[in-house]
Amino acid sequence: MTDRSSRTVTTHDWRTDLDVEHLAEVRDRLGDTEAAGGRRHLILEILAYANEEAESQGRAGTVIITVFPHGRVRVADDGRGTDTRRDSRGRVIRKPVMATADLRFRAEATAPLLPDGLPRGGMSTVPPIGVDLAGQVDSETYGSSLHYRWERGCPLVVI
């Protein structure tokens, strides 16, 4: 258990769960889903993150994409899940991938391209432009499942 401010910054800054300025910048820059490359690009962002999770465990991952008749899309993967740890007071915290900038992709000019030819922005570019996400972290370490929701990039509920 460590204090949040002592976490090593690799892809995201652990000191905060929400970077309102970043989310506003994403909304201003990308506008709506179509300006951001459409639903296809958002799915590719999610798949890229799931792929990283599987690669971090030295294996190929499995992803199931379900497109529902009303347009909703569900992407489920068998990745490691978002890194979740306890802070110095014993509270469970998750790596803030949905609501803070992925520091690797801040400069579009140097970001890797996804298969659609558009630059990768990270998971935090998916929800701010009108997409709601739900996530679950099954944690053997903490002996439970944690359920999260994000609406337009903002973490809402822990169930």
- Which amino acid is present at 97? V
pLDDT digits (tens, 9 = 90+) for 24-71: 888 777 665 566 677 788 888 888 988 888 888 888 888 888 888 887
**Two tokens, residue 22:** 């970043």
Q: Residue 1: is its pLDDT beyond 80?
A: no
DSSP 1: -
DSSP string over 6-39: GS--SSS-TT-S--HHHHHHHHHHH-STTTTTHH
Number of domains in the chain: 1
**Which of 89-93, 150-154, 155-159: highest mean pLDDT?**
89-93
Q: Which of 147, 143, 142, 151 is nearest to 159 (CA)?
A: 147
Give the phi and the psi of residue 135 in degrees, each rounded to 5. -140, 155
Rounded distance between C-alpha atoms, residue 140 and residue 33, angstroms: 36
Give the phi and the psi of residue 48 in degrees, each rounded to 5. -65, -40
pLDDT digits (tens, 9 = 90+) for 86-130: 778 887 777 787 778 888 888 888 999 999 998 998 888 877 765
Containing structural domain, residue 73: 4-158
